[in-house]
A and B are shown apart, each in its own frame.
Chain A
């Protein structure tokens, strides 16, 4: 049984101007110890998916359909008190720009202790000892526990946030853009360390990022999202070497790389659609060079193309289209 089984998740925000179709009919699985990378541009719904999994949605958001089955238990109908028990202990999260959400007037260690004590029945001394162990785990000097956030560098703050997420030994960690604000050398170290920790503790991870290079390095399987829909899902090598959805192909070609042949970047014309009024049929069709009549009229079903490789497209480009990476 998969650790996390999401099926047909649909979540909309209600606003003055109408319903924002943030997440539509998204299904995927994460196994124990597996790393899933969720990739897509801003506004594609990847953060909304994460917030739905944690059921940390604002008042105007509603899960309209679907199931989120974590360790056999469906989280969608669960009331808040029961969800709170699972949060942090079962699934924990490193939010986007979380390093900026450390309270500047409290010591960092104290903030982590507070988080621990809310979920585990530990005394202060026990909690402190745990924090010290966590600091060592993320390669920081435990003495830094008693310093304030402004005394930490960006990389250190991020490590502290990761320590906080690990505090209750969760089975799954969702990391939303964990290294976006960091310099490349620090990013490299932290990504490596997270990967090592994950393998040591046999923890599952869900990486969310717009940077496909980072996703390529840390994920076992990748889901590509566009305009609230999951358009392609496969293991990492397949996504990069044999993408079939036109958006995935375009995305791969839109990133410059320091290795490999230097070739012109593919420019995807247009903009991601407004989710208040998404296009009919396939949401990508206005920007797709392979769009046909059916693409404009009907939503393509999310189907298994070959073992473990899913795609939602009427015209999957098996040859990788005209612009695939070699």
Chain B
């Protein structure tokens, strides 16, 4: 199934200025939300981006759909550099190929628009002028996402639908332009538990039916294991481990990944988890040091790590990369 490379991200970096109170202060601080991130997503693959809050996964997703412009680095879609695209036809073409599903099913739909308007909006902006064609395509997508019969859903408002149904609408909206690549930002975290399974299954089905590749952003490692083929673990803006999902989760190499996996509760009362080996609390990525960002919390880091710059990703096993000096 995974074949050619669809998305290539290299050295992707995004800094946000911290607003200082003094209007004319010279020195400014920056939040290093995403720093030097490199990975690829193959065609037909579901690539997971996991980490705790503040690690930069959502920012990375937004960079990939061009909601933010990167401070540095490159993003290639199907071989073409897309960072330079700013406006016009090329931007419109990009927006047809790359879409996003947002986390909050309640707030990502305009409450004043009908379901038809919401799902048809990307079509309208892409220049599909014929109303009949828009109606047909929207109805087609609504039935693909399980909102059948589509006629009964087309002209309702979001508040008349449940959370699960709204998220299906959001998925329909993302898929209506036939994108090649969809960034899904925690699509099920705000849904009821018995609804999540249905939405996750839908996303898997649509991958087959519509030939889409996903960037699946989540903090829930169990979900990542279920959904993703490969995944990357992020910490304070940096990727610390990349590899096949099952491999990374069952045999984590980086000390942060190990702590993260060990901390996940398991729905089996007879299972005894390993102790979580990590110190301290997460800090904000403001003006981080040049050495390994995980060092203050790392159970195996020492003075040598402090003397070296932040480690880069090394292939330790086949297809499994880790950024650590101690491995």
Contacts and interface: CB of A to CB of B under 8 A. Distances in A.
Are A and B in contact, CB atoms below 8 Å, in the complex? Answer: yes
Contacts of B226: 256, 262, 265
A240 B52 contact: no
- Identify the interface centre among A42, A187, A211, A256: most chain B CB within 10 Å of its CB: A256
B192 A42 contact: yes
Given A184-B221, A213-B267, A256-B223, A155 B281 contact: yes
Interface string A259-296: 11010111111011000000000000000000000000
Interface in A143-160: 153, 155
B225 interface: yes
A213 B225 contact: no
Nearest to B271: A259
Contacts, number: 117
Contact of B267 (A188, A216, A265, A266): A216
Contact of A254 (B197, B264, B266): B197
Contact of A257 (B162, B194, B222, B259): B222
A214 interface: yes
A217 B266 CA distance: 8
28 contacts: A41-B193, A153-B282, A183-B52, A183-B219, A183-B282, A184-B219, A185-B259, A185-B260, A185-B276, A187-B263, A210-B193, A213-B264, A216-B268, A237-B269, A240-B267, A240-B269, A251-B193, A254-B193, A256-B226, A257-B225, A258-B249, A260-B266, A264-B201, A265-B201, A268-B194, A268-B197, A271-B164, A271-B195
Interface of B: 52-53, 162, 164, 192-198, 200-201, 219, 221-223, 225-226, 246, 249, 259-271, 273, 276, 278, 281-282
A258 B276 CA distance: 15
Contact of B261 (A41, A251, A258, A262): A258
Interface string A36-70: 00000111000000000000000000000000000
A185 B278 contact: yes
Nearest to A217: B265
A184 B201 CA distance: 24
B126 to A, nearest CB: 32
Tell me the dominant secondary structure on chain A's binding face.
loop
B260 A260 contact: no
Given A257-B222, A258-B221, A267 B197 contact: yes
A91 interface: no
B267 A272 contact: no
A167 interface: no
Contacts of B198: 267-269
A252 interface: yes
A52 to B, nearest CB: 22
- Identify the interface centre among B164, B219, B222: most chain A CB within 10 Å of its CB: B222
Contacts of B260: 184-185
Nearest to A39: B193
A106 interface: no
A236 interface: yes
B53 A183 contact: yes
Contacts of A210: 192-193
A250 interface: yes
B202 to A, nearest CB: 9
Nearest to B165: A271
A259 B273 CA distance: 10
B129 to A, nearest CB: 37
B222 A258 contact: yes
A116 interface: no
